[in-house]
Chains A and B, each alone.
Chain A
Amino acid sequence: MPEELDCRYLLCPMPVIRTQARVAGLAAGDELEVVVTDPGALADVPSWCRVHGHEVVEIREGDHGVHRLRLRVGGG
């Protein structure tokens, strides 16, 4: 199971900022699951990943407005 980062009820860009802080402490190849409720994060977190060379492995949009993004940290 990947580590989880709870960003529920945070509005953008806070989920990105929290993701950035958490990823800074991870190593290449590590996975992180980011849980969000702001739909804006579904665009912003992947965008942040692309510019930093991390991979979005999976996005699961939940029924109750809770979404999950699974990231794999890039080689840096």
Chain B
Amino acid sequence: MSDRPKAVALISGGLDSMLAARLVQEQGVHVEGLNFYTGFCVEGHTHAIRQKDQERPKRNNALWVAERLGVPLHIEEVIESYKEVLTNPRYGYGAKLNPCLDCKVFMVRKAREWLEAHGFDFIVTGEVIGQRPKSQTRDKLPVIERDTGAGDRLLRPLSAQLLEPTLPEREGWVDRERLHALNGRSRKPQMQLAQELGLETWAQPAGGCCFLTDAHYTARLSDLWQARGSKNYDIDDIMLLKVGRHLRPLAHLKLIIAREAGETHFLQGYRRRYPHLRTVSHGGPVALLDGTWSEADLDLAARLVARYSAGRNAERVDLELEDTEGGVRMLSVPPMAPEAVPAEWYIGA
């Protein structure tokens, strides 16, 4: 190895971090990518679950970007340590439950630790001044270098010319003149830059890199926290909030009802954790029961599940309730009429 300067680039799988990494790579810097898996990342597995989405490419966006750049990518699982960021963000939430500024601080801090452990010289991110209303305004950026201890080892190639020169610029590891002065919310300059750099662009999911900016998802997460009386969650909760229809007919009972075969298959994987209902007289979905219930509540739940089965117009639908030990009991109910299901029962629909 030569003594080329070495940069660790945060790679989210989005276009901006790809461009930022390419800009320093182009200047002869050795670049390796770092990506964090919080559990909330928008990932291929949501496609793997739903059958109707099976046509879509099942790929990890960050890996895809790393391949285009030709850089090694290190993926770190941070599900546990991210909890503190999400449940107790120092700088609060964005429009939904997205703690973007705290999230950035968390990731840059991790990158700084990685840099020290691996003897790298500086950190690269795809941040653009003014791109996000809360976390990327000009006055917020310094918070990141301060709170993370990254200081002037943090380079933002896309907006660098609008910021104070950083260590890699002062040391001449990168030429500031060849960095950029992007500012604001328009995506056009990035598209153009991608073209100049010969990088193919693609449709980006609106909102952000994670489910915490998604209105439906965060409505379900808030509901979960409220029902539990605490902001607790684990990886199974994160996954289940992505799948099925979520209905809360009673304060103490939620149903997760599969929308199609792929989801039914996925939900069955949780049958040792949650009791579930399934229709037997007619084709129909599997529904997980989360909470507590009386006989009357169970009857209500069964009628609701029957409403989503092929027997929705039948007099009665037979169902099985299976507990988490595999014990089964039969139920027979008239399906609920669609118009009898109040809109407020749907969570994040």
Q: Which residues of A does B touch, CB under 8 Å?
A: 9, 11-14, 16-17, 20, 38-40, 43-44, 47-48, 50-53
Contact = CB atoms under 8 A, between A and B. Distances in A.
A28 to B, nearest CB: 15
B45 interface: yes
5 contacts: A14-B77, A40-B58, A43-B57, A51-B63, A51-B73
Interface of B: 37, 43-45, 47-48, 57-60, 63-64, 66-67, 70-77, 239, 269
A39 B48 contact: yes
A48 B48 contact: no
A74 to B, nearest CB: 11
A17 B77 contact: yes
A44 B67 CA distance: 11
Given A40-B44, A51-B66, A16 B269 contact: no
B70 A12 contact: no
Contacts of B269: 9
Given A38-B48, A44-B44, A51-B67, A16 B60 contact: yes
B67 A11 contact: no
B63 A47 contact: yes
A52 B72 contact: yes
A12 B57 CA distance: 13
Contacts of A48: 63, 73, 75
Enumerate the 8 nearest inter-chain pairs by beta-carbon distance, A residue then B residue, closest first: A11-B45, A40-B58, A40-B44, A47-B63, A44-B60, A51-B66, A17-B77, A12-B45
A44 B70 CA distance: 15
A9 B63 CA distance: 21
Given A17-B75, A47-B60, 6 more contacts: A11-B48, A17-B77, A43-B44, A44-B59, A44-B60, A48-B75
B58 A12 contact: yes
A43 B67 CA distance: 12
A47 B35 CA distance: 14
Contacts, number: 67
A20 B239 CA distance: 22
B100 to A, nearest CB: 21
B48 A47 contact: no
A40 B63 contact: no
Given A11-B43, A16-B60, A47-B59, A40 B77 contact: no
A53 B73 CA distance: 11
B48 A13 contact: no
Contacts of A51: 63, 66-67, 70-73
Contacts of A40: 43-45, 47-48, 58-60
Contacts of A53: 72
A35 B77 CA distance: 19
Nearest to A18: B77
Nearest to A65: B265
B239 A16 contact: no
Contacts of A20: 74-75
Nearest to B77: A17
Contacts of A39: 48, 58
B60 A50 contact: no
Contacts of B63: 13, 16, 44, 47-48, 51
A52 B33 CA distance: 11
A13 B67 contact: no
Contacts of A44: 44, 59-60, 63
Contacts of A13: 37, 43, 60, 63, 75
A12 B63 CA distance: 11
Contacts of A52: 72
A29 to B, nearest CB: 19
A44 B43 CA distance: 11
